Amino acid sequence: MRHYLLLSSLLLSVSAFSQADSADLDPVSVTSTLNPTSVSKTGRNILVFRGEQFRNLPVNSVDELLRYLPGLEVQSRGPMGTQSDIVMRGGTFQQVLVILDGLRLNDPLSGHFSTYFPIAPAEIDRIEVLKGASSAIYGSEAVGGVVHIITKSFTAKKGKPQKEASAQAGIGQYGLVTAQAGGFYNDGTTAFSGGLLSNNTGGQPQRGIDGFFHLTTASISVSHYITPKLHLAARGAYDDRRFAAQNFYTSFASDTATEHVKTSWNQLTLAYQGSRDRVSIDAGYKTADDQYAFNTLSTANRNKSRLWQVLLRNDHSFGSNLSLNSGLQYVNRGIHSNDRGDHQENQVAAFTVLNYTAPSLVTLAPALRLDWNERRGFELVPQLSAGYSLGQLRLRGSAGKTIRDADFTERYNNYRKPLVTSGRIGNPSLEAETSVNYELGADLAAITGLKISGTFFQRFHEGLIDYVTTPYAQMPRQDNLSPAGTYALARNIAKVDITGAELDLQYVHQYTATSSIRGSLGATWAQAKSRDGAAANALYLSSFARLLVNAHLGYSSSRFAVSLTGLYKERKKQEATAIKATLTPSYFVLNAKAQAAVYRSALWVFVQADNVLDKRYSDLLGAQMPGRWLQGGISFRL
């Protein structure tokens, strides 16, 4: 806890002696209400991170960036984009929805693939993090929150020429080679954007193997104003990840797993902007090819998933204070697997959001979704968000329902193997989990450049999906199981309540046109309580942090930049004696990066240290994270 106090004191001491421009603390967001609205008028707790800040932080992938944003718990199994799960406000990693330019990315095979973002950092304009229930707008998985990645080409403005380019290459210990590059060009009518991110290493030593990874993402997009009111945008992306996956999913000593995941993403948007209406149609197609080998003697699991989706929207403005956003959504998801079988399902939904802002800065945003899934039928999902301003103080609250459908791994894991002696077993009888959510919060801008946000939240789950240790005699299907085996069955836990609170601090000060200091700090406390005791041995609910503190702080100018990221976590202690692994009750990790310009403001050199204090830690039992990792390189900016 002393590390948390140190980070808090550092950030607050900086803000106390500065006078800042607070414009970046109330940016425009499109995630919470689908209508471009200042964050302070949404009635929600929203964090917006600008894409150009990525290169200043000691991070090598998008999931590592999210790890240090206030209120996001990123449970990493490996570094630099190898694999991570996102948790928000407690609960499970399956309860966070990831969106790219309005379309959902969550994979139908497994939520473990949600952070395989098919986008290079150079293409990102901003990342909007919406905390709390959002199923009324986005449907399944939008329970704990939404991570929305918004790109430069899909938001390119007509009549605003712009061009930029950047590249970075680095090397480090254990044969590390990293590279990223990208560019954006807009002539005012047509915009092009593209980027590349690649992280590769032989890896640090693990239990008998090295934690190697070879991770590459490439993306390209184009947008064009056919007429001043008609806009077309398209994107294609490919993501390839091959890595050591030892004890990513099991705690067996025989686990020396490797995994190879190839993902493709294609997206198309056509939008018409009228005087009062904006009509758009978005279509997306995603494929993921996953090959997982438990060890050299086992038959590899081969899973292919696909995701089709179409989103039709109409945003109508009645005036400056009132708008209505409505839409229809179709989603088809399916898998072809030698382990889980062949399955597909369809989903259709209609939704509407009314946005009202009174002259006194009272805001109301009721939302309603009618969601149909061919397995569960119809579900009505309502929500209401509201806010009220009292000078520098903004009060806000939200209440609503959420839903989450089981993925195909939770339903069919280990179903087609000839014999399963132990492990996690899928359950085709799983029902969708639902919850009722409440939150109350306030935002305060008492000091110029400093925004303080506090929120209390509760989530009351019915039928929450989790893996629970289950005796062989109680297994609903025993065809390929051993009577002597130890199993965890995916089940609907009857009644689980999540209660918590979060405190966020954001600070920005622009000294000159080229120099600024930025920082954030978040502290989140959450606990789960089962009303009937059914969650005592649940896997997901034993993994999230009871106390999470994450922060970043950086200074940048035209010739020099330095930044720190820190993370402190408290959680339930776990042990796996078979592999001599322990999930410690707490840990603290600190990373640092320093950069200096060597030719004008275009050519830079940098040094970076991950896990500066060389702490031994894991986010998930058995998946050992690296110790101290030193690296350095050069970067180019135009």
Whole-number Å distance between alpha carbons of 567 and 589? 5
Say how many C-beta atoms besides its own lie within 10 A of residue 291's C-beta: 15
pLDDT in tens, 461-500: 999 999 998 999 999 999 999 999 989 999 998 889 999 9
Q: What average pLDDT does the segment 519-528 reach?
A: 95
pLDDT above 80: residue 356: yes
pLDDT in tens, 127-157: 999 999 999 999 999 999 999 999 999 999 9
Question: What are the DSSP E strand ranges found in 37-153?
Answer: 37-38, 45-50, 72-78, 83-88, 96-100, 103-104, 124-131, 145-151
pLDDT in tens, 551-566: 999 999 999 999 999 9
Task: Decide the pairing of beta strands 420-425 and 481-510.
Answer: parallel
pLDDT in tens, 359-378: 778 999 999 999 999 999 99
pTM: 0.94
- Dig out the tokens for 364 from the structure: 């109301």
pLDDT above 90: residue 12: no
Collect all residues with Cβ–Cβ distance below 8 Å to 85 and sequence separation of at least 6: 74, 75, 93, 111, 112, 114, 115, 620
CB neighbour class for 417 (10 Å; exposed up to 12, middle 13-18, buried from 19)? middle
- How confident is the model at residue 21, as a pLDDT? 47
- What are the structural domains of the chain? 2-637 (2.40.170.20)
Whole-number Å distance between alpha carbons of 340 and 291? 13
- How confident is the model at residue 30, as a pLDDT? 87
Q: What are phi and psi of 16, to 5 degrees?
A: -65, -25
pLDDT in tens, 260-292: 999 999 999 999 999 999 999 999 999 999 999
pLDDT range class, residue 24, cuts 50, 70, 90: confident
Q: What average pLDDT does the segment 502-530 reach?
A: 92
The CA–CA distances, whole Å, from 478 to 399, 466, 470, 471, 490 equal: 42, 19, 12, 11, 14
